[in-house]
Amino acid sequence: MNFIERIHPKEKLRYLNLFDILIIAGIMFGYFAVRSTQLFIEGLQTVTTHTQSSASDGAAYSSNFTFQVIMLVIVLLYLLIRNFDFKILKIKFHLSVLIWVLVLFCIVGLCGDFLTTITGEYNYFDPSLIQYINPLEIINKFFALSPIAIAYGLLNGFYEEFFFLGLITSVKEENKWYALIFSTLVRISFHTYQGIIWAIAIGVIFGLFYYFMYKNVVKNLLPFFLMHALTDMFGTGLIYLLISWNY
């Protein structure tokens, strides 16, 4: 095999090697990891209530949108050069997708509410809040979002889980644990601006939950794209989303 064939094999590439994963991670998340670390060091990561954060008050999503599109195009071109077999990515739509989006979002949201409560940020399990719960608040909060917040949520949901679930699972069996550990560290690295506790929770608890649910239960990337998009739009909290705060 000559040099050209090593870079662009004749046969479709069904398994990425660890070097591919390293390059793609650097392209997609290198800047964000550095910037997040800077914000953490500067102490700008202070957030009083994480679950009330959304894409609209996060890490400058409007300026990130164009940048992420460019990085995504670069990665897609890289994968085309590598002759990657995109058909191995499991993306399909059927009615169960909507059910899984709801289930995954509720689980992650309740975990977020629990973490917010035990860290002393806000007690979402205070019984007095029950009277203010209104499912219609989901609709109200959705219509309160700007179009760019919705667009960025959809982009970022695909952007992150395309790598963490799509590409990270496209490695040989003997490399899967190395890839998973590395991807967990990467996920933590660009969430440190939210504080160490939340960065670890997002990288370890949520990240591993997504991975094992995708590999062993759902086996479809689409619900994770959409569920992640919802957390970017509304924040990682279910009870917060259901409460009418105009009391």
Three-class SS of the chain: CCHHHHHCCCCCECCECHHHHHHHHHHHHHHHHHHHHHHHHHCCCCCCCHHHCCHHHCCCHHHHHHHHHHHHHHHHHHHHHCCECHHHCCCCCCCHHHHHHHHHHHHHHHHHHHHHHHCCCCCCCCHHHHHHECCCHHHHHHHCCCHHHHHHHHHHHHHHHHHHHHHCCCECHHHHHHHHHHHHHHHHHCCHHHCHHHHHHHHHHHHHHHHHHHHHHHCCCHHHHHHHHHHHHHCCCHHHHHECCCC
> Token pair for residue 155?
């982009």
Higher-pLDDT residue of 184 and 5 is: 184
Dihedral, CA atoms, 44, 203, 111, 97, nearest 10 degrees?
Answer: 120
Q: What is the mean pLDDT of residues 118-137?
A: 92
pLDDT of 59:
46
pLDDT of 200:
96
Q: What is the mean pLDDT of residues 110-116?
A: 96
Q: Identify whether the C-beta of residue 184 lies closer than 8 Å to the C-beta of residue 208.
A: yes
Q: Each residue of 34-53: pLDDT tens digit? A: 999 998 888 754 544 444 44
54 pLDDT more than 60:
no
pLDDT of 56:
38
1 pLDDT more than 80:
no
Q: Each residue of 157-179: pLDDT tens digit? A: 999 999 999 999 999 999 999 99
> Token pair for residue 76?
């897609």
Query: Mean pLDDT, the chain, as a whole number?
Result: 90
pLDDT of 50:
44
78 pLDDT more than 90:
yes
Render the burial of 87-102: b for 16+ CB within 10 Å, e for the rest.
eeeeeeeeeebeebbe
Q: Each residue of 202-237: pLDDT tens digit? A: 999 999 999 999 999 999 999 999 999 999 999 999
Residue with tokens 């992420």: 68
Looking at 41-45, 128-132, 197-201, which range is the least confident one?
41-45
pLDDT of 85:
96
Q: What is the mean pLDDT of residues 14-38?
A: 95
pLDDT band at 61 (very low <50, low <70, confident <90, very high): low
Q: What is the mean pLDDT of residues 21-41?
A: 94
Please state, in angstroms and rounded to a whole number, the distance separating the CA atoms of residues 11 and 25. Answer: 24
